[in-house]
Structure 1
Amino acid sequence: MNLATLDVVVVAAYCIGLVTIASLVSREKKGHEKDSQDYFLAGRSLPWWAIGASLIAANISAEQIIGMTGSGYAIGLAIASYEWTAAIALLVIGKYFVPIYLEKNIYTMPEFLEKRYDHRVRILLAFFWVGVYIFVNLTSVLYLGALTIEIVAGVDMLYGMLFLAALSLAYSLYGGLKAVAFTDIIQVAILIVGGIAVTFLSLDKLSEGAGVIAGFTYLLDNAPQKFDMILASDHPSYMDLPGISVLVGGLWIAQFSYWGFNQYITQRALAAKNLREAQKGIALAAFLKLFMPFIVVIPGIAAFLLAPNLDVSDKAYPELMKLLPAGLFGLTFAALIAAIVSSLSSMTNSISTIFTMDIYRSTFQHVAVSEKGLVRMGRCAALVSLIIAMLVARPLLGNLDQAFQYIQEFTGFFSPGILVIFLFGLFWGKATAHSALAAAIVSVVVSLAFKLWLTQVPFLDRMGLAFLVSAIAAIAITLYEHKGDHPKAVRLEDFNFKTSAGFNISSLAVVLILVAFYSAWW
């Protein structure tokens, strides 16, 4: 594909507008110097609408858009369970996790672990997350994002990576989380508009100009197998989405680990003006998760009928973009760029936060480190992390046929243990630091053993089993130590988990909508 002149103008306008707005929102009042709270947590001033939009922008990247559209092409609507179960996880996290995080007044998730367990747990998880964010998450978004741009626009991958990294740094390096969060509103708006355009045009094409409703009806009538939400055991994709256990098994491990304890996600809630704003923002994100399959999965199912002979399912989205006229193609291409750079900026900001607050500051705690020094170190960490990611991207991912799936499985080695550490830390007063360390180690060992010797068991089910084994190990060590309640235990009786009427109504609406979806396409 080649960008028309109008498309280039649209993309250029998007990039210029993004950097301009980021610069404006990053300005400090005269006489005020940006401190660590301003840089890493936006001065704890984020309103609900910025939190909700930023949660989605941080989550969705270009390879996920193309990957989920490809999964819609190959599997069907069943892949939407990843989005829809996330909505439930978000609401639970907003009600029960976020109140504790905000009361603890933390910057990072490793900091919570020190306040609940000890410094060893904090520093271990800090180094782990920095390593994973740089060598797995940041590298994958940068590499696969550049690959996406190469497929869609024909831009060489090297130049694509340099462009993405430069754009991400241009609007986020100075302003920190505030610049990221407020520009994410624009990113999500462009993402949704571009996604709707692809969905509408593909459905209209199916109906031969009769409209979207007619196109969707045609889709239901001519590809009913693509609307099975629960896959049978003989389905070719059963190993990826193992039937009913998707709703009751390992997928919840991934959801709660990702949305509840992942720094570049939780950082938005930590930066909220107050608890109510954080919960309203999380409710908004939950509603947006319900909507996402209709702009990333439904087009993939439409492509199954429009272009049934694609050799690779991930070519479905680029194929559908051919339907877009000049200008609208540029807007949709800008939406892909928006998805990439918002994820990049979120990850680099979280890397800099963890490195600065959990590793750098704790290492030099005997030295008086100024607020200006912390901000400077955060900017350096963000810059260096992107440089490292660009250098190692091709060597790490260039020879993998299914890089995204490989990365998901790699992070799945650690997710069960991390979930055990945080769940027990939040809700079981007796859990000890040794049990937390054991859960982390057991999770990796058991996950690796399952991968090597239980290859016939679906990946999500293996995650569920690894979680159970890690939990049992943590419980056994805690009971063996029999020290009673940990001195740093979270005292749940001190918290009021009562939520506002608006949050409760939103939660009920999300649940009812999901019941309707699964009832319609069981």
Structure 2
Amino acid sequence: MKLAALDIAVFAVYVAGLIALALWVSRHDKKEGQNTKDYFLAGKSLPWWAIGASLIAANISAEQIIGMSGSGYAIGMAIASYEWMAAITLIIVGKYMLPIFLKNEIYTMPQYLEQRFNTSVKITLALFWIAVYIFVNLTAVLWLGSLAIQTVSGVDLFTGMIFLALFSVAYSLYGGLKAVALTDIIQVVLLILGGLLLSYMGLDAVSNGEGAIAGFFVLTTELPDKFDMILSPDNKHYASLPGISVLVGGMWIMNISYWGFNQYIIQRALAAKNLNEAQKGIAFAAYIKLLMPIIVVLPGICAIALFPSLSAPDQAYPSMMSLMPVGIKGLVFAALVAAIVSSLASMTNSISTIFTMDLYSKFKPAKTQQHYVFVGRIVAVTSLIVAIVVAEPLLGKFDQAFQYIQEFTGFFTPGIVVIFLAGMFWPKASSPGALASAMGSAIFSLILKLYWPELPFIDRVGLVFLMCLVLCVAVSLVKPDIKENNKSVELNDVSFKTPSNFNIATVGVIIIVVALYATWW
């Protein structure tokens, strides 16, 4: 599929407009100079709408759009569990974790671990996160993003990666997190509008022009199995979404790790004006997550009816884009690229934050604020260059790179969740217990992968979490910290009471999720 001249013009206007907006947003900092709080935490000034939009923009990228549409084509609406369970997870993070993080006035997740445990835990996790963000997350977004661009526009892979990297640098490098977060509202609006338009046109095509509602009834009538939210053991995709475990098992661990302790996600909430704004932003993001399956999963189900003979499920979204008229196709393509570059910008900003604030500033403590900002920019550009160089050698040989990446990160997710939850809510958790949990997560996951290969991935994550929790408790009791000098677990002055608007939003999210599962159980 090729883009027409009008599509290219629409896309070019979007690129130029976004860069201009980012430079305008950063104009105040240009006059007065940026310190680290300005660059890495947007001056602690983000409003709720920017936080919520930026959380979603950082989360949704090409691998989610292309991959989840492909999963909708292959599995059906059950893949939406990742989105709907994430909505409830966001509420939990906003109520119980954000108050602790904001009380401790941290820049990064490793910084919190240093406050709670010691420098060894911080450095170990900081190096781990930098490596994962560069060699897994950043590389995946560049590679899979360029694959998506190649499918739609015909641009070769290397050129696509260069374009994505330059685009993200052009609008985010100078202004830092403020430029990223305040322009993400444009990105998310475009993503939602483009996705809804694609779903509408797909449903209309399914019903032969009788409208979207008629098209939806056609799908639920002719493809009822594609709307089963809880897969039975005899379903060929049961290993990917193992029945009731989706609701009570390892998916909770994966979601809590991603939304609660992932630097390039939680950094938006750390940059809030105050806790109330952060929690409103979290609630806003939760409602957008409830909407996302309509944007990224439903087009894949429509493709079953419209393009039943695709050679690969991941061709579903690009095939659906062929339904778009000239000009509108350029807008939907812009929405796809918006998702990619916002994720790139978020990741590079977080890589530079962790490197600069957790590592470099400790070895070079006497430098100016402007020097640290300069180092952060150098690290951001360097991380992109490294990711471009290693993308094809690391991911080019895998047919399903996204699933491989999920598998890899799942080796470490259970241990990370144990470290944070124990550190936040159990005063006796010790530094040796935290390190044992981190190492045990990888070891337990590898053993189960090798000797119990039929165990579904989500169930393995849940089981390893329990094993790491037992290990952390045992080691902490046997080897307690010598000095109990941390204050991060003193929760007496941390209020978990939330305002009425947050509570109402919470009830709404729960009711909607329960209704969705009750309808398509």
Normalising by structure 1, what TM-score?
Answer: 0.98
Q: Give the aligned partner of residue 440 of structure 2.
A: 442
Note the C-alpha offset of 1:255.
0.1
Note the C-alpha offset of 1:62.
1.2
Q: Residues 250 and 462 of structure 2 are in contact (CA less than 8 Å); yes or no, is this contact kept in structure 1?
A: yes
CA distance in structure 1 between the partners assigned to 2:514 and 2:294 by the alignment: 16
Q: Give the aligned partner of residue 502 of structure 2.
A: 503
Q: Give the aligned partner of residue 71 of structure 1.
A: 71
Q: Secondary structure of 1:54's partner? A: helix
Q: Give the aligned partner of residue 492 of structure 1.
A: 491
Residues 120-519 of structure 1 mapped to structure 2, 5 A cutoff:
120-365=120-365, 368-481=366-479, 486-489=484-487, 490-519=489-518
Note the C-alpha offset of 1:214.
0.5
Following TM superposition, the consecutive aligned residue runs of length 4 or more in structure 1 with deviations greater than 2 angstroms are 481-487
Counterpart residue identity of residue 403, structure 2: Q
CA distance in structure 2 between the partners assigned to 1:249 and 1:78 by the alignment: 15
Counterpart residue identity of residue 206, structure 1: V
**Identical columns (%):** 60
Q: Residues 28 and 34 of structure 1 are in contact (CA less than 8 Å); yes or no, is this contact kept in structure 2?
A: no
Note the C-alpha offset of 1:483.
6.2
CA distance in structure 2 between the partners assigned to 1:103 and 1:225 by the alignment: 47
1:72-105, CA deviations, whole angstroms, 9 ceiling, x for partnerless residues? 0100000000000000110000001001111101
Note the C-alpha offset of 1:486.
3.7
1:374-393, CA deviations, whole angstroms, 9 ceiling, x for partnerless residues? 00000000000000000000
Q: Give the aligned partner of residue 82 of structure 1.
A: 82
Distance 1:482 1:343, change over 3 A: closer
Any unmatched runs of 5+ in structure 2?
none
Q: Secondary structure of 2:28's partner? A: coil
Q: Residues 95 and 496 of structure 2 are in contact (CA less than 8 Å); yes or no, is this contact kept in structure 1?
A: yes
Q: Give the aligned partner of residue 117 of structure 1.
A: 117
CA distance in structure 1 between the partners assigned to 2:174 and 2:380 by the alignment: 10
Q: Residues 432 and 480 of structure 2 are in contact (CA less than 8 Å); yes or no, is this contact kept in structure 1?
A: no
Note the C-alpha offset of 1:229.
0.2
1:137-188, CA deviations, whole angstroms, 9 ceiling, x for partnerless residues? 0000001100110011101111100100000000001000000001111110
Residues 88-103 of structure 1 mapped to structure 2, 5 A cutoff:
88-103=88-103
Q: Residues 432 and 479 of structure 2 are in contact (CA less than 8 Å); yes or no, is this contact kept in structure 1?
A: no
Aligned length: 520
1:26-74, CA deviations, whole angstroms, 9 ceiling, x for partnerless residues? 1126852111100000000000000000000000001210110010010
Q: Secondary structure of 1:308's partner? A: coil
Any unmatched runs of 5+ in structure 1?
none
Q: Residues 429 and 480 of structure 2 are in contact (CA less than 8 Å); yes or no, is this contact kept in structure 1?
A: no
Counterpart residue identity of residue 392, structure 1: V
CA distance in structure 1 between the partners assigned to 2:33 and 2:480 by the alignment: 49
Note the C-alpha offset of 1:479.
1.4
CA distance in structure 2 between the partners assigned to 1:456 and 1:394 by the alignment: 30
Distance 1:31 1:166, change over 3 A: closer
Normalising by structure 2, what TM-score?
Answer: 0.99
Note the C-alpha offset of 1:481.
2.8
1:12-37, CA deviations, whole angstroms, 9 ceiling, x for partnerless residues? 00000010000000112685211110
CA distance in structure 2 between the partners assigned to 1:505 and 1:486 by the alignment: 39
Q: Residues 7 and 331 of structure 1 are in contact (CA less than 8 Å); yes or no, is this contact kept in structure 2?
A: yes
Note the C-alpha offset of 1:310.
1.0
Q: Residues 429 and 485 of structure 1 are in contact (CA less than 8 Å); yes or no, is this contact kept in structure 2?
A: no
Q: Secondary structure of 1:498's partner? A: coil
1:88-130, CA deviations, whole angstroms, 9 ceiling, x for partnerless residues? 1100000010011111011000000000000000111000000
